[in-house]
Copies of this chain bind each other. A is one copy, B any other.
Amino acid sequence: MSDRVVPEPQRRRRRPTKQGVVLSAELIVDTAIRLIGQHGAEALTVRRLGAALGADPSAVYRYFHSTDDLLLAIADELIGRAQHGWQPTGDWRTDLRAIGLRIHASYQAHPQAALLAAHRTTGRTHEIAAVEAILGILRTAGFPDAEAVRVYHAFVDQSLAFAALDAAALALPAPAAAADLQVWQASYARLDAATHPHIAATAHLLTADMRRSGYPYALDLLLDAAGARLRSAGAGHDG
């Protein structure tokens, strides 16, 4: 029954809950984001959200049709927060690197919402602004249009893909996340050099490296290769 939700403009009463809290869609979204940040991904359940708000869990359904509806609202809020305050330096590599790391970082801050949002094309203002900025950086740097579009595509998809991948790891229930990390020591580090020479030779490096996100290095590789193509393809272009 989605008809429980009253559209924003028609809301009238600001009736406090038993515990004295005056609810609003905004307050619910903020509380949900805080809940995820404080107690991990599993903390976001309607029951716990109700408790954190000081209201009956079902009160949430007066503001959102479903938990999915709520999560989309959260994602939208996060897109807004992500873009905040970035300034270009004029150097294409520095700027792209900064944008990539920013996208990645902002999604990591809210893994559960990231999982939902990372693979959608919204076409909304914040997304459009980002596309225009990235294309501008590439074209100003001298990439021919066709190449600029391909690099843009690879760059954005790689950023979002890694953001979602790393977010998924963070959003995992605690025991599963621990198990995934443990595998490198419990399983890979103990393989016999006779049967698995390459793993055995690099096990110590693997266990150290796999703790971190592979994104920064992958990003550097992408920018390296893009730079090489820029040098060979667009040699005589003006900006």
List A residues at the B interface (Cβ < 8 Å).
68, 118-123, 128, 131-132, 135-136, 139, 145-146, 148-154, 156-158, 160-162, 164-165, 168-169, 172-173, 175-176, 179-181, 183-184, 186-188, 191, 196-199, 201-202, 205-206, 209-210, 213-215, 217-218, 220-222, 224-226, 228-229
Q: Given contacts A135-B199, A180-B120, A183-B122, is CB(A153)–CB(B222) below 8 Å?
A: no
Is there contact, CB below 8 Å, between A128 and B187? yes
Q: Identify the closest chain B residue to A201 (Cβ).
A: B145
> Shortest beta-carbon distance, A143 to chain B, in Å?
10
Is there contact, CB below 8 Å, between B228 and A165? no
Query: 10 new A-B pairs (CB below 8 Å) besides A131-B199, A145-B202, A157-B165?
Result: A118-B168, A123-B183, A123-B186, A139-B202, A150-B209, A158-B158, A158-B214, A161-B162, A221-B221, A221-B226
Provide 27 A-B residue pairs closer than 8 Å at the C-beta atoms, listed in order of the A residue.
A68-B179, A119-B168, A120-B176, A123-B183, A123-B186, A131-B199, A135-B199, A136-B197, A139-B198, A150-B217, A153-B209, A153-B217, A154-B214, A154-B218, A154-B221, A156-B214, A157-B214, A161-B161, A161-B162, A161-B164, A218-B222, A221-B222, A222-B222, A222-B225, A224-B225, A224-B228, A225-B225
> Shortest beta-carbon distance, A137 to chain B, in Å?
9
* Chain B residues positioned under 8 Å from A146 (CB to CB): 205
Q: Given contacts A128-B199, A199-B128, A205-B145, is CB(A153)–CB(B221) below 8 Å?
A: no
Is there contact, CB below 8 Å, between B128 and A184? no
